[in-house]
A and B are shown apart, each in its own frame.
Chain A
């Protein structure tokens, strides 16, 4: 892993040295940083070598390896973000950060799979957030170090070019699997649902969750040709008979409630692909995994990075660790 916690002065030094940086930290520390080759997003939660931690005083720094050929930092809004795949380097990868719950976040979540050249180039990233005590008081933000721009709505992307002989790949580690239970389908795409189909029978989803005593800390899981993709529950509004999610559900996909997890850390470390250690350039994990599995103070197999309000591996994911590897084809 090439990331670690830094003080503000350490980050300033790295920026002055011309390092290419991906930063995560509280707004008050990120806004102290000078212009440079960096992008960042707000969050005060991290997985570190010492374990999960919350701090508003330090910055999680991912330093891109010196072997990269070039970078281009771009700021997008809802109308320009559909170009994110076509703007990517032919051989390289792109890192995206979007503030939680802004228009661009919601649009990306719903529409990314329809963007031109979707998934053609590696796209990884995260949704920025705030301390849970600040929810509703402070808005999540993203920063472009190139122009010292701060955005509450938009996306900042670093498009990275790799030299010949090196390639990038995106992976996910999702410990959740589909249970053997009912198949749930949705009549339309969206972040909320009322009427759904349970094994083909139209049913109010809020009432179904209550009647079945579903544990809403466990996500819905869809099978994308063998890749398990989660949608996390945000809330069940019994009064309005409506269920809200942290990522959109999509019409036609077949979802199942996840199997229960006994011990997140044990399951996580047992599923961590071996031999990846030094190849992993960047990773992040979900705030819901951090909270529900009580990861504060616990280590997750040496994998570090920001704890996020959503993860991006080509599209928006929930309750999933995502990671980027750079592979030396000559090795």
Chain B
């Protein structure tokens, strides 16, 4: 599965804590632990955009990892 672009609102919803998924990709879990904290302390649109970009970029840089593919299916599989 391809990594959806940053324009997909799900990336923003994840870092805003509006939706939650059980993930396998350790790097995403550790990064999200930080990003959620950042957005909680600064919920400005700029911070939300930056954190959503960081999360999307992490997936975009690691598309071939089996755990990334499983997580993409979990998050975006229902959109197809």
Contact = CB atoms under 8 A, between A and B. Distances in A.
Nearest to B60: A120
B37 A229 contact: no
Contacts of A225: 20, 23, 28-30, 32-33, 36
B58 interface: yes
Given A226-B22, A227-B30, A329 B64 contact: yes
A224 B32 contact: yes
A314 B33 contact: no
Question: Chain B interface mostly helix, strand, loop or mixed?
Answer: helix
Contact of A120 (B34, B36, B40, B58): B58
Contact of A119 (B41, B58, B65, B66): B58
A313 interface: yes
A222 B26 contact: no
B19 interface: no
Contacts of B30: 113, 119, 224-225, 227, 229, 313-315
A227 B26 contact: yes
Interface string B14-53: 0000001011001111111110110011000000000000
Nearest to A314: B30
Given A226-B22, A313-B26, A327-B66, A252 B33 contact: no
A253 B38 CA distance: 10
Contacts, number: 68
* A interface residue count range (under 10 / 10 to 19 / 20 to 34 / 35 or more): 20 to 34
Contact of B65 (A167, A227, A250): A167
A121 interface: yes
Nearest to A222: B33
A171 B20 CA distance: 21
Nearest to B67: A169
Contacts of B37: 250, 252-253
A223 interface: yes
A120 B61 contact: yes
Contacts of B33: 222-225, 227, 229, 253
A253 B41 CA distance: 11
Nearest to B14: A225
A172 interface: yes
A284 B22 CA distance: 26
B13 interface: no
A170 interface: yes
Contacts of B61: 90, 120-121
Interface of B: 20, 22-23, 26-34, 36-37, 40-41, 57-58, 61-62, 64-67
14 contacts: A113-B30, A113-B34, A118-B31, A118-B34, A120-B58, A169-B65, A172-B26, A224-B30, A225-B33, A225-B36, A226-B23, A227-B29, A227-B33, A314-B26
The 6 closest A-B pairs by CB, nearest first: A224-B33, A225-B32, A227-B29, A119-B27, A225-B29, A119-B31
Interface of A: 90, 113, 118-122, 167, 169-172, 222-227, 229, 250, 252-253, 313-315, 327, 329
